[in-house]
Structure 1
Amino acid sequence: MKKNLPLAIFSGLLLWIAWPPTPYTTFLLFIGFVPMLLAMENIIQSTSAKKGKQIFNVALIGFFVWNTASIYWVYNALKQVGELVAIPITLIPYALGPLLMATACWLYYRLRLLTGRGWSLAGLVCLWIGYEYLHQSWDLNFPWMTLGNGFAVTHKWIQWYEYTGVYGGTIWVWAVNILAYLIYVGMREAQTKQVRLKLITAFTLTVLVPICFSQYRYYNYTEQKNPSNIVAVQPNIDPYEKEGSLPATQQIDIMSRLSDSIGQSNTEFFLWPETAIPEYMEEARIQASPFYSQAKRFLTRFKNGNLLTGAETFTYYNTRATKTASPVNGGQFVDSFSTALNIENDGTPQFYHKSRLVPGAESLPFGNTFSFLKPVFEHLGGATGAYGSQSDAEVFYSQSGIGVDPVICYESIWGGYVARSVAKGAQFIAIITNDGWWENTSGKDQHLDYAKLRAIETRRWVARSANTGISAFINQRGDIVQQTKWWTKTAIKQDINLNSELTFYVQHGDYLPKAGSALAVLLMLFVLAMKLRKKRALAA
């Protein structure tokens, strides 16, 4: 293991250097897994015992280096809930991802014992996609490190995400790495010139064809003219003051003045960030809330305007209507929500409850299984697992008929989830977020870069309002047309083009990871069946 561990660590370092927001090293994704594959091959070909355990350990360490170096900032985002909670929660992204990645590599080894190198490498791709799809679907979700996200800073390479989503990028990375690995291994295995030439040709075409197609699509894509004026506000309120010393009325006044300063008579949407209205408002009686009235008041100058803002809201029930509801005095139950709220001069306010919640900080993973822990969190004041959610994507409609997809913070890294809202009629995407918890780290830059992928997948403009930055407008090709600086109080406006056409990806969703996951399950069943068969044969 000693000679293979440096290879695994080198692999992790290559992948980290290639990861966003670094703009000039993305190409290293195409060779980042080669040292890891070589380390696993060395173990497989060795005469040592417990090869499976060695492969798992080597992969775990290498991928831990990659993940931790890339998302070191996660701790900053979670320390708001307290040290005792933040430290174990950070293990979800730091360690759980690498554990699942290492498990995929261990299963590759088990498959390699039963099939040839080629079939087992194809199986590894399916197993990896299965891990990625699991990690975006279960209660401990954290798809930040999905391989296809790695091209967020080189969006001109992946315009074909409108057909495949980010999982097409995952397949691309693995296909190129496997070909590079086979070329290298072939040289030390006295590969024939003919076979080597075929592999080099396949490697070259696998790299260049998607890039060339993407370049063609990028420079020939034309947006249909359907303009709408949007304002994105960045109030730059310290997140710790936001929930404490700075009164909500003063915060709303700051955002109203920023909106007024650049709003036009034809402005159709003003975007305020996540939890812009920090005081809890009861949804059934929201129009009686002074904070709601104050937020709505500035709209009187903009007759066609809508205010899409983040808010904290709650709903009472007479029974425990949801698994997240908590008991209150009088035998009632209450759900609290991180909400996107759409306000008009006339008409009923529209609500969307954040659906993709941060595990641990905003939701209790496997709430049904660990429901016995809920009284503990209630005793702690609901510091963890405090929010309710809704089950599916939403579309807000203005009175003029414009459909917008309200996306709250963490949700913007789910391509399939955003696509479902677009399929329902959203003509542009509004991301409202509060990245101030992350401080001035690469986390805020990665979050912005990932929004470019949503623009390409759906061919929708993205308007982004971030409390402390970075607010931005992104066009349908994934270009950042306008952006703010970090930790700056400002507002920006943009005439965007609305779009109602549906891409292949929007129509069909995450078909690639679903197919890959199904194959991964079949492969695991195959490995298990063969292992049981071997045991029976030995017993006989």
Structure 2
Amino acid sequence: MLALLSAFLLWLAWPPFSFTAPLLLIAFIPLLFALEDIMRNNYSRKGQKVFLTAGLTCLVWNTASIYWVFNAMNAILPTIIAMLISLIPFGLGALLMTLAFRLYYQLRKRNNFIISAAGLLSFWISYEFLHQSWDLAFPWMTLGNGFASMHQIIQWYEYTGVYGGTIWIWLSNLFLFQIIYNYRFNKPTKVLVPVIGWGALIVVPIALSLTIYNQYTEHLNPSEIVVVQPNVDPYAKYGSMPVEAQIENLIRLSDSIAAPNTEFFIWPETAIPEMTNEEDIYGSHIYYRLQDFLNKYKNGNLLSGIESYLLYDSAKTTTARSLENGQFVDYFNAAAMFENAGKVQFYHKSKLVPGVEQLPFAGTLSFMKPLFAAFGGTTGGYGRQKEPSVFYSQSGIGAAPVICYESIWGDYVSKYVKEGAQFIAVITNDGWWGNTSGKDQHLDYAKLRAIETRRWVVRSANTGISAFINQRGDIVQQSKWWEPTALKQEINLNEEITFYTNKGDYLAYLGSVASILFLGMILIKLRKRQSN
């Protein structure tokens, strides 16, 4: 029951719920009491019981918060395959979280609470860092993301990123748990001082954040942006509506709200659904139509999602596929920027969805490529580029083309900014998830990128929610779900670099190093025990 209570509090605190995020600061306390009870009583197989109890919390919390993953998978893949792929975020994330508690138990057996708590915090950070770095990456449930619905209280993310939120959550839970435990069982005479200390741990960061939030002023450097939401059903996008008709719809929506001085039009992920050879783009009918559209706008640039490919004479990449004519091809979920001066730039999505857009551990599991190809052709086989690249307009404005899932990586988005991006353009197609909390969470997480980098986030979503987010993380404008529309906003470009942008996920590296040291302690004591 304690494990389920923690799961309930974690779910209730998670976006898109509003004003409940502070529950994260106490949500793990019931679970910590459950684990302490197991460790202090005469249970058999305590390690297994710790694992199963913590695993119940983590699995229920993960599944309740990101249930929409199965909805999307089940709509495009057979049910059994959808269930298996859904295990990546549901089960694997919960498993990694649970391993942190299992290692905490190993420390707790032979060390005091302070050392064990420091180990638990380090192991948790290592799990989060691993789960954003390897081929099965899915950092959606990183603890620091939980404050996205109350961005006013975490303005200090410009210094720490989301890992600062993770550390804050765990320090609060561990500190208050120890206070309550000591009062309940050890009956200390001095309780007021620890309680005041815990209160300061909560109040000081919030007060600092609110001060930053209220005093933050954007430097005036205006640029007019139009985002378009065409509202094309993603499951009927291919075949039911001609490419030309989809492009004309996008142009019509753009023209309906644009002004002669509009500098950027932002269209969503895969807005141009025709598979396009990047090397032949200047001769394509799409290119000529888009140039006609942009000729009406003196400084106009179009940043759009597009499906593209490149042909090679040899297998230049691990994702290249052989063709019957002896050539090789790479397909991309890409972004392209068209200038009214004629230049076209391409960016290839780097953070690919495991199992859907890429085959995890492709070198080791290359024998499974035919299986993935059988479920959708390009499934598991998109090409990618390793590092982000910035689109520069003819007037020198730098735009970050962030495609869908990539907006979850704070460190990756910050690399665009270090390369010169003055605003962030998130292009996405959240319609795959339907009218679930997935689209709302995705929107909320974009606010974190605005705070970390102090850049406007301009969000174009095919079916919603499209939005403009300022440098404080406020949503200035947003669309409704599932309606065709266009939004126009004058944003402020920014060239300043925040501490987090400059240093990246330094807290994750420190936590990972600490976890190695704590793991070494566990192994040394296990070896001593075996030798005795």
> Shorter-chain TM-score category?
over 0.9
Partner of 2:161: 165
Bigger mean CA offset, 382-391 vs 448-457: 382-391
Pick the aligned partner of 1:43 from 25, 28, 38.
Answer: 38
Shift of 1:201: 1.3
Shift of 1:30: 1.1
Name the CA distance, whole Å, in 1 between partners of 2:291 and 2:524. Answer: 63
Partner of 1:259: 254
Answering whether residue 101 of structure 2 is matched by residue 105 of structure 1, we say yes
Pick the aligned partner of 1:246 from 241, 245, 252.
Answer: 241
| Contact 1:182 1:199 survives alignment (8 Å) | no
Q: What is the percentage of aligned positions where both structures have the same residue? A: 56
Partner of 1:462: 457
Residue identity opposite 1:192 in structure 2: P
Name the CA distance, whole Å, in 2 between partners of 1:248 and 1:403. Answer: 29
Answering whether residue 367 of structure 2 is matched by residue 372 of structure 1, we say yes
User: Superposition pairs for residues 464-503 of structure 1, below 5 Å?
Assistant: 464-503=459-498
Residue identity opposite 2:286 in structure 1: F
Runs of 4+ in structure 1 displaced over 6 angstroms?
none
Bigger mean CA offset, 476-485 vs 369-378: 369-378
In structure 2, do the counterparts of structure 1 residues 381 and 444 end up closer, same or farther at CA, with 3 Å as the change threshold? closer
In structure 2, do the counterparts of structure 1 residues 381 and 437 end up closer, same or farther at CA, with 3 Å as the change threshold? closer
Answering whether residue 170 of structure 2 is matched by residue 174 of structure 1, we say yes
Pick the aligned partner of 2:69 from 71, 74, 80.
Answer: 74
The 3-state SS of whatever aligns with 1:301 is coil
Residue identity opposite 2:8 in structure 1: L
Answering whether residue 223 of structure 2 is matched by residue 222 of structure 1, we say no
Name the CA distance, whole Å, in 2 between partners of 1:118 and 1:28. Answer: 23
| Contact 1:140 1:359 survives alignment (8 Å) | yes
Name the CA distance, whole Å, in 1 between partners of 2:257 and 2:189. Answer: 66
Partner of 1:509: 504
Shift of 1:115: 1.3
Residue identity opposite 1:488 in structure 2: E
Shift of 1:76: 2.2
Shift of 1:124: 0.4
Pick the aligned partner of 2:397 from 402, 421, 439.
Answer: 402
Name the CA distance, whole Å, in 2 between partners of 1:245 and 1:273. Answer: 19
The 3-state SS of whatever aligns with 1:341 is strand
Pick the aligned partner of 1:123 from 91, 97, 119.
Answer: 119
User: Superposition pairs for residues 178-327 of structure 1, below 5 Å?
Assistant: 178-194=174-190, 196-327=191-322
In structure 2, do the counterparts of structure 1 residues 358 and 380 end up closer, same or farther at CA, with 3 Å as the change threshold? closer
Name the CA distance, whole Å, in 1 between partners of 2:182 and 2:291. Answer: 68
Count matched residues. 531
Pick the aligned partner of 2:430 from 416, 427, 435.
Answer: 435
Name the CA distance, whole Å, in 1 between partners of 2:399 and 2:172. Answer: 37
Task: Please list the CA deviations of residues 160-186 of structure 1 after superposition, one character each: whole Å capped at 9, or x if unmatched.
Answer: 000000000000000111111112111
Partner of 2:146: 150
| Contact 1:326 1:378 survives alignment (8 Å) | no
The unaligned stretches of length 5 or more in structure 1 are 1-5
| Contact 2:66 2:438 survives alignment (8 Å) | yes
Shift of 1:331: 1.3
The 3-state SS of whatever aligns with 1:152 is helix
Task: Please list the CA deviations of residues 382-439 of structure 1 after superposition, one character each: whole Å capped at 9, or x if unmatched.
Answer: 3530211100111100000000111000000100000011011000000000011111
The unaligned stretches of length 5 or more in structure 2 are none
Name the CA distance, whole Å, in 1 between partners of 2:527 and 2:285. Answer: 67
Shift of 1:79: 2.8
Pick the aligned partner of 1:533 from 522, 528, 531.
Answer: 528
The 3-state SS of whatever aligns with 1:250 is helix
Shift of 1:463: 0.4
In structure 2, do the counterparts of structure 1 residues 379 and 146 end up closer, same or farther at CA, with 3 Å as the change threshold? closer
The 3-state SS of whatever aligns with 1:390 is coil
Shift of 1:290: 1.5
In structure 2, do the counterparts of structure 1 residues 358 and 259 end up closer, same or farther at CA, with 3 Å as the change threshold? same
Answering whether residue 406 of structure 2 is matched by residue 423 of structure 1, we say no
Answering whether residue 87 of structure 2 is matched by residue 91 of structure 1, we say yes
Task: Please list the CA deviations of residues 123-157 of structure 1 after superposition, one character each: whole Å capped at 9, or x if unmatched.
Answer: 10010000000000000000000000000010000
Bigger mean CA offset, 396-405 vs 81-90: 81-90
Partner of 1:114: 110
Name the CA distance, whole Å, in 2 between partners of 1:375 and 1:439. Answer: 29
Name the CA distance, whole Å, in 2 between partners of 1:80 and 1:396. Answer: 34
Shift of 1:330: 1.3
Bigger mean CA offset, 371-380 vs 512-521: 371-380
The 3-state SS of whatever aligns with 1:391 is coil
Task: Please list the CA deviations of residues 435-479 of structure 1 after superposition, one character each: whole Å capped at 9, or x if unmatched.
Answer: 111111111000000000000000000000000000000000000
Partner of 2:409: 414
Task: Please list the CA deviations of residues 475-509 of structure 1 after superposition, one character each: whole Å capped at 9, or x if unmatched.
Answer: 00000000000011100010000000000000000
